[in-house]
Structures are given as C-alpha cells and as structure tokens.
A and B are shown apart, each in its own frame.
Chain A
Amino acid sequence: MLNLSTPMPIEERLKAISNYAVIFALVVIVAGFAIAAPSFLTGANLYNLILNNVVMLAIVAIAMTIVVSSGGIDLSVGVSVDMASMAFIMLLKAGVFVGTALFAGIGAALVVGLINAILITRLRISPFLATLGILFIGQSVQKIASGGGKPVYLANAKFAPTFNAIVKSEVLGIPTPMLILAAIAIAVYVLLHKSVFGRYIRALGAQPGVAWYSGIRVPFHTSLVYIIAAGLCGVTGILLSSTVKSYVPLSGDGYLLDAIGACFIGTTISAQRRPSVLGTLIGVLLLAVTRNGLLLVGWNFYWQQVGIGLLVFAVLALSFGLRGRGH
C-alpha cells in the first residue's frame, strides 16, 4: 500500500532504518557471540560454520527465493534434496560411474520440479497444495525405497576419494562447496535481478494478472521456476550425501522451515518487502550464526530452539514494527 499522506520525516526515517534491522541484528549477534564465546570468532569455527551449516541451507533458501519471487511457495524442497541424494548414493553403490550418478542425482531432483510444474501450471493446483502433496508423496516414496527409512551408508574406503573430491577439495585455496554456493548465488542473482526472465518472474509475483496481460507466458515461466528451484535443491542433496557419506531418508525435510524463514527474513531488507538473493543470504547467516553461537555459549538443544525463535521474532518485530502496520 502506498502512503499518500504528506510524508512525515520521522516516520520515513524509521522506515528506512527498518530495512537495515536484520543487518543490524546480525552485526550485534556476531559481536555478542564474539565476546561471550571466545572460540566463536576463530578461523576454524567460522570455516566449519560456513561449510557445514551455511552452504547447503543457503542453496535451498536461494531456490526458495526464486519460487517466492514468482508468488508461489515450494514445500517440497526437502523432497528434491532427498531424491538427489538417494539417486546419487544408490547409483554409486550399484557401481555406476561418478559423473553419471551426479547427473542422475540432479536429474532426480529436476523430476520433482517438473512434477510440481505440471501440477501447478497444467492442473492449476495452488502451489501450496501441489507442493504439500508432493511432500507427502516424496516421504512415502523414500520410506518404500529404503524399507521404512533405513539409511544407505557408503562408508568404505572405495568411495572416500569421490566424496572428498566433492566436499573436501579446494580450488585456489577456497573449498569447493563454497565456490559452488558463490557460483549459484551469483547466477541466481543475475537471473532474478538482472535478466528479462527474472523481470518476468518478479512480475508474476507482484501482479499475476498484469503479467498475463503483458503477454508473459505465465505457465512456461512458472514451470521453469519450480524446475530450477528443484535442480538447485538437488545440488544440496549431492553435497549433503557427500558430507555424511550416506543417504539418510527424509533428511532434506529439515531445510524446509529454515529456508522459508531465511527467505522471508531476507525480504525485510527491501522497502517493498520483496525477496532477494542478498536478503536470503543474510537470513541464512542470521539463522546459522545464532545456532552455532548458542551452541558455543553452552545452551542445550532445547533452549537453542527457543533462542532462535525469540531472535527471529525480535528481528521481525523490529523490522515490521518500525515500519508501521504491514497491511
């Protein structure tokens, strides 16, 4: 809603500040943990934090950002992650060449995206219900394939070099997973914010009716959104299974709420409350840093959850509250 009344300087200034609330909170939290937990701001901790907690969640959250930009939501991100992980690990176990297994893994995730796309654009089911249905089906498929949820371990030495090449290797001194994240973040940033395709997607999210009138091929672009998102989640699936050297059924589900949270926390840095890649990355950092910091400070798992909830609540209250009523 546009504010048509005469602009009031203080209110405007508060609104401007509200866009930076989440960045401000991130800085305060990092500083707070740096003081409270001496081991927090060490190279080793930050390195592990980013490698183990940030990269995989960030990729899923970026996928969610594309979908949310188009006005939809994807509750089946965890299924895409798990399908990629399952195909990758099971094919490796069957003795298939690594490259083929990699492609099959990403391919399995793309299939999930394709099904979502068909449900949403052809059968015209709302994104929420379509992806919720796929989430249920995906969980079932995994239980059936894994005999009720038994993990598939590939811990023997034969596969160690493969996994190490994916997650432990470095290019120019930078770990490969970080490079993958950087490449994805930049690619999606360009796609979403600098390309015609991105403009169409954001038009779909802002004004679906107008987008249709403008001659944008709505079903085509919507389909691509869900397929690209699922493919990105597939990358996380490969990284995840290479890190834990196994396929653990339903392990992707854990990313869902964090990805939604990070994406929508990220919307608070934009004046129009739109999702963006940068905002999402800040959201991911906020969640990951808090979880890691609370652990180092010595809070147990239960209180960590309360702490994260309270923190997110406080950031949102600050961001939305300073801005005045949202709707």
Chain B
Amino acid sequence: MTMTIAAETAAKPARARGALRRQGTLVLRLGALAMFALIMAWFAFTTRGFVSPANIFNVIEQTAVMGVLSFGMAVVLIGGGTDVQTGGIDLSIAANTGLCAAVYATLLAGGSGDLAAAAAAIGTGIAVGLLNAFAVVRLGILPLLATLAVMNIVAGLELTVTENQVIGANSTVTQLIATGRFLGLSVLAWIFILFSALMTWAIHYSRIGLRLYAVGGHPEAARAAGINVGAYVAGTYAFSGFCAGFAAILLVARLSASTTATGQLLLAILAAALLGTVFSRRFVPTAGGTILSTLFIGFLANGFQLSNVSYYWVNGVQGVLILMVVAVTTFAKPQGK
C-alpha cells in the first residue's frame, strides 16, 4: 500500500506545481507552526492581557485535563495507525473520564479516603481500557466499532452511578490540586508540564515508544522483528484508560465535582490528537504535536474569551482555523490521502 503510493508519486509527471511544492516543502512543513504563531501574535496584539504570564499559566492550567486525554488518544493513534476506518482510535475515552469522575466523586462524597478513591478512579479507567484492548486485540473488532460500543456501555454506567446529577466532592488532595502552588506555578500547571515531559520521553526517547511507532506504522514488519504487536496495541488502550482515570481526578479537583457533560469532550480530544499529526513530518502523532495542538485549542478558546467574542462563534472559528492549519500543511504532503 505504502509502496503503491510511493511508486505513484514517483511516476506522477513533474508538473510546475509539483516542482514548486518540492521547493516549498520545508516552508510548508512548518505551515501549521506558522499559522499557530500568526494566530497567537494576532491575539497578543489585539487582546489585552493575553500574553501576561498569569494568563498563559491560566491557559496551561485549563488545558491540563485536555492534555492528559489528548496524550491518551495520541498513544492509541500511534499504536494503531491513523487510517480513518481501520486505524487505532478510542471513542470511549471521554465517556470513560466521565465514569471515572463519577466513581471518584461518589467515593469522596461517601467519605472514602483519598488514596482509595483515586485508586478506584484509575482502576476503573484501566478496566475500561482493558475491555477495549480485549475487544480490539483478542476479538479483532475494528477499534472504531469496539470503542463505540464500549462508549455506550460506559456512558450508560456513568448515568446509573450519578443519576445524571452533579456530585460535589472535596478532599485534601482535590484542594491541593485545585489551589496548591509550587515554585510560583499551580499544581495543575506542574502536572501538565511534568506529564508532557514524561510522555515526550516515553514516546520519542524510550524503547517502548520506538517499538510503538513500528507497531502502528507497519505491524507485519514489527511482528517479524520480534515485537509482541498484540501486547503493544493492548497497552495503548490500557494506557488511554489510565489517562481517562487520571484526567478524571484532575477534572473533579478543578470543579470540586463530577459533571454530566464529560462525554462531550470526545470531539475536542479527537481534534487535538489529530491536529497534532499535522505538526509532524510524516503526519503521525508526536508528543510535541500533541502538546502544541492542545495548547493551540486552549489558547484559542482563551483568546476568544478575552476578546469578548460570543461563545456561539468559538466552535466555528476553531473549526475554520483547524481546517486552515490542516490545509496549509497538507499541501506539503506528496499524496492526497
């Protein structure tokens, strides 16, 4: 498949546009980055307070939950390949976060200890992830379908736990996460920075990360090289489940409650993880791309808030900008799909 496309590109007559494209590849490859910088610059010049350190760290804080979830999704995309229909995807991650948040908040509200509640939340997340892993790896169900079914199950379970109510929760740990500061930065910002650093190391500088790319890019070759492909793919879903549990704790801490609308985060998470792929040369998810796109989406929302744009417009302008960034970058790609 890859070979056909490569051969096809080579066989394509070099039109003027093709030549131009080759010359401009380096510039256009950075197109997404340039767009990102341009939009940030526009906000910086037009919106008061946008570039103040307080605001920047405020955005990083707000982005922490999304960042953790985007990494969960990105890892699944790396391990499963980014094919639209058959590649890796975890549609259940947002619903899973909702269920974990419900479990965490319910246990805290019921008087459980911090450690027990956190363990239960992360345990729930990993359990759901393992169910996805079982469905995808053991049963061989398409990830899109398997995680869609699990999403329904998990969203239903969340509703039965919460009865569609907001559950308030407070503890020393949630207080610490929500209001604690260390070296001038809030705990949430620290968590996002440390988590991002750890993920960057794991994805790009560790053996596991290298093998994961091999598994996603060419499973047959990876298998031939002696990698246990099934275990790696299963691991990505378990990890995405873990991310759901971890993000749930941060979410409950930030809001002092579990909310009922967590499932709606799915599209934003997908957007962040997929947008991240345009920041890389080979259009695969990377740690840097994921961090950038998550921050991009976070800063966009923040910029609109500060410039008093009605929230009706926010989604739409985000959509337009995502399309523009992707279009500019995709132009550098040698072949359409």
The interface of chain A, by Cβ under 8 A from chain B, is 68, 71-73, 119, 121, 123-130, 132-137, 139-141, 143-144, 148, 207-210, 212-213, 218, 257, 260-261, 264-265, 301-310, 312-313, 316-317, 320-321, 323-327
Contact = CB atoms under 8 A, between A and B. Distances in A.
Given A73-B85, A129-B274, A135-B267, A306 B152 contact: yes
Interface residues of B, number: 56
B319 A261 contact: no
5 nearest A-B residue pairs (beta carbon): A140-B316, A326-B140, A309-B152, A136-B319, A305-B156
Nearest to A260: B148
B316 A139 contact: yes
Nearest to B319: A136
B249 to A, nearest CB: 23
A307 B156 contact: yes
Given A68-B85, A129-B274, A320-B140, A140 B148 contact: no
A132 B267 contact: yes
A218 B335 CA distance: 12
Contacts of A308: 152, 156
Interface string B138-178: 11111011101111111111011001100000000000000
B145 A132 contact: no
Contacts of B194: none
A305 B85 CA distance: 24
Given A129-B326, A317-B141, A312 B315 contact: no
Contacts of A317: 135, 139, 141
Given A257-B91, A327-B140, 4 more contacts: A125-B323, A136-B318, A140-B315, A212-B8
Contact of A136 (B86, B156, B312, B322): B322
A217 B315 CA distance: 34
Contacts of B262: none
A261 B142 CA distance: 11
B152 A302 contact: no
Nearest to A123: B327
Nearest to A264: B145
8 contacts: A124-B330, A126-B330, A137-B315, A260-B148, A305-B152, A312-B149, A326-B141, A327-B86
Contacts of A261: 145, 148-149
Nearest to A218: B336
Contact of A310 (B8, B153, B310, B333): B153
A13 B312 CA distance: 55
Chain A CB within 10 A, most for which of B1, B135, B145, B153? B145
B314 A140 contact: yes
B159 A71 contact: no
A320 B139 contact: yes
Contacts of A73: 84-85
A320 B138 CA distance: 10
B38 interface: no
B317 interface: yes
Given A308-B152, A327-B219, A316 B135 contact: yes
A249 to B, nearest CB: 10
B234 to A, nearest CB: 13
A306 B157 contact: yes
A309 B312 CA distance: 32
A304 B4 contact: no
B103 interface: no
Given A73-B85, A209-B1, A129 B142 contact: no
B320 interface: yes
Contact of A209 (B5, B85, B135): B5
Contacts of A133: 319-320, 322-323, 326
B333 A257 contact: no
Contacts of B327: 119, 123-125
Interface in B117-151: 135, 138-142, 144-146, 148-151
B331 interface: yes
Contacts of A265: 145
A284 B150 CA distance: 18
Contacts of B323: 119, 123, 125, 129-130, 133-134, 137
B148 A257 contact: yes
